[in-house]
Amino acid sequence: LTGSLLELNTEHEQCHSYMVNSAPIAGEDGKCRGVLASFEDVTQFERTKAELQKMLDELRTSRDEVRRKNDELKLLATRDPLTGCFNRRAFFETFEVMWEGAARYKRGLSCVMVDVDHFKSINDKHGHSTGDMVLQKVAQALRNTARTCDVVCRYGGEEFCILLPQIDIENAVAAAERYRQAVSGLQ
């Protein structure tokens, strides 16, 4: 038995830890005549180890919380709170990256602008909460129509902008028609 940890509770409910090592004592005939056992008090080491483990667990939890908060902040900084689409600032940052990639690899990059017709009259006749619901439905229809690589942005007010990477002008016209149909089919 080598390197076994033994824990003993005293009458005051304090735990003491000992590292137990043992080795057989053999006689001249090779038979076991006894055992040499040693007990090393490692109580303070085990307490320190437990405290360090607790701190490590707390640090991991704290790190995970910081990551979660950072992800949340990134989402808040890049998304329009009403529609969940990219906001204008995030759109331009993404556009710059896509523009450079399109130029470098000589690939198409198209953009479709969507403007909700007569939106002011919706707000005037039915109120801003109805107007907000309309914008949310339009945004959802645009995102549902978009490819995974497309970027849908609320450009401002009732205007949306969709980046279409690797799309030439002819295919952009077809995509724009799909977006128009998706929005016009809303109820």
Q: Are 138 and 161 in contact (CB under 8 A)?
A: no
Q: Are 150 and 163 within 8 A, CB to CB?
A: yes
Q: Which residue has the tokens 């033994």?
A: 6
Is 29 strand, coil or helix?
coil
Cα 8 from Cα 19, distance rounded (Å): 11
Q: Of the residues 13, 158, 159, 170, which is catalytic?
A: 158
d(CA 133, CA 123): 11
Cα dihedral 141, 145, 149, 154 sign: negative
By C-alpha distance, which of 38, 40, 45, 36 is closest to 18?
Answer: 40
Active site residue 158: yes
- Nearest Cα neighbor of 24 from 16, 35, 15 is 35
Confirm if 138 and 183 have CB atoms less than 8 A apart. yes
> Catalytic residue numbers?
158
